[in-house]
Amino acid sequence: MKTAAVAFLLISLFSAIWALDNGLGRTPPMAWLTWQRYRCDTDCVHYPNDCIGENLIRIMADLMAADGYRDAGYQYIIVDDCWMSMSRDAGGRLQPDPQRFPTGIKNLTDYVHSKGLKMGIYGDYGTHTCGGYPGSLDNLQLDAQTFAAWGIDYLKLDGCYSDPKTMDVGYPQMTKYLNDTGRPIVFSCSWPAYQVSYRTPNYTWIAENCNLWRNFDDISDSWDSVKTIINYYGDNQNDLIPAAGPGHFNDPDMLIVGNYGLSMSESRAQMAMWAILAAPLVMSVDLRTIQQWQKEILLNKNVLAINQEALGIQGRRVYQNDILTIWIKPMINNQFAVALLNQGQDGGPYRFNMTLASMSLPQFPMYELVEGFTGVPVGTFRPNDYFATNIDVSGVYLFVAQARLGVPNSSPKAGEDQFAKLVQAKKLHVAGHQDPLVVKKHTAL
């Protein structure tokens, strides 16, 4: 009890002076990162273009600039674990592996900046990184200064080899030291991911100190992994949604679109769901070999607009049965992004037929529907009109519903306000259960 009381006192004391103050991440960050595709490959003798080294980063920076990713909004290129030397320099500073980063991180950062991109790097709050390289424990201030001196724009701070019980104070210490550098650095935390196994993290405190944060298992290159993460976000949405917003977002982990584990339908589903969840969009893919259809999913301007819209509200699961889940994300100007996700494994598509009101859209006089990927108009619907479509196995149907309020000069946030009232009145926040508002059985086509 005394330990808990002391921790609470420290959090209360430091909250006023340690809160993150960088003005960054007002929409979910968009980036490319090494980890999912390249892991901890340090064999530059046999794999010079695929190992974690400056050559790989330069190649990917070139492609991000040349192939439309930068212009679409993917602005950070991030080196994950295994970039370091196994020891600090004579001054106690982190240093890159000299064989794999022969010109140094500052030089590499300058190159990334010359491409109109921003540079991100990985560190660890503990004694060692997850890959066994030097951690930042007892060196947080020095490491923050080092990153700033190198011109780093984004820091991912993992939590291996540390005591999660100290993170409520330790991570905010890094927040303070990053603030003290005077350099705007996006701060990506792994803090809650190490606490969820034994308690609910203090997401209010986390949101005050981090621009984004991991809170669940690492993603792997499979549809099962993607589904597990999506379902975790639905089951725990009461804790997660209030913490998310401009400048601070939940991070369900990387996009695996472009790798080996997802079909086209599954790739579209992950992209749509990450947009609905207001999730950071962090690619981890070989941009040299990505197929055209995968690239088109990652660059889809309509889906990116849903993810990047100004309110930054994380979408809510409002309906669930054994196969289908429905998710709604309120957006600016009385729009709602809606995802109908088919998690079934049957051979045929899910035959969907439900009224807009039964989907938990607020009772506005009229809605104009637009398909989410193509931007093609679907039609005009009243709340009690039925909407029917087929949803592919392991697929998604994404649409945007523009409310027509019938009230001159209505607030651009009226839709958000009405949805919030509906959530409260109909108890849509009950995670893991079919929503009481919607019909118990959908009508089959």
Query: What secondary structure letter does DSSP report for 50?
Result: T
Report the chain's mean pLDDT, rounded to a whole number.
Answer: 91
What phi and psi, each to the nearest 5 degrees, are found at residue 151? Answer: 85, 20
- Tokens 């607030």, located at residue: 411
Q: How far apart are CA 97 and CA 417, in angstroms?
A: 52
* CA separation for the pair 216, 233 (Å, rounded): 9
Taking alpha carbons only, the member of 306, 318, 249 closest to residue 276 is 306
Give the SS3 label for residue 36.
Answer: helix
Is residue 431's pLDDT more than 70? no
Q: pLDDT tens-digit profile of 17-51?
A: 568 989 999 999 999 999 999 999 999 999 999 99
Residue 62 bears catalytic tag: no
Q: Are 335 and 294 in contact (CB under 8 A)?
A: no
Q: What is the pLDDT of residue 14?
A: 52
Torsion of CA 320, 323, 218, 140, to 10 degrees: -10
- What is the structure's pLDDT at 6? 43
Q: Which of the following is catalytic: 80, 97, 158, 392?
A: 158
The mean pLDDT of 322-338, rounded to a whole number, is: 97
Kindly report, residue by residue over 157-205, the tens digit of the pLDDT.
999 999 999 999 999 999 999 999 999 999 999 999 999 999 999 999 9
Please tell me the distance from the alpha carbon of residue 349 to that of residue 391, in angstroms, as a whole number: 5
pLDDT (tens digit per residue) in 356-371 = 999 999 999 999 999 9
Going 205 to 210 to 212 to 217, the CA torsion angle's sign is negative
- Catalytic residue chosen out of the listed positions 71, 89, 218, 417: 218
Q: What is the pLDDT of residue 426?
A: 53
What pLDDT is attached to residue 224? 97
Indicate the range of 81-90, 92-101, 236-245, 431-440 predicted with least confidence: 431-440
* Beta-strand relationship, 249-251 and 212-214: parallel
Q: How distant, in Å, are the alpha carbons of 251, 321, 352, 361 from that of 408?
A: 38, 38, 34, 21
pLDDT for the residue 122: 98
Alpha carbon distance 194, 190 (integer Å):
7
DSSP 323: S
For 49-57, which contacts have Cβ atoms below 8 Å and span 24 or more sequence positions? 50/286, 51/100, 52/79, 52/80, 52/81, 52/82, 52/83, 52/100, 53/97, 53/99, 53/100, 53/101, 54/100, 54/101, 54/102, 54/103, 54/107, 54/108, 57/108, 57/112
Per-residue DSSP letter, 354: E
Can 218 be counted among the known catalytic residues? Answer: yes
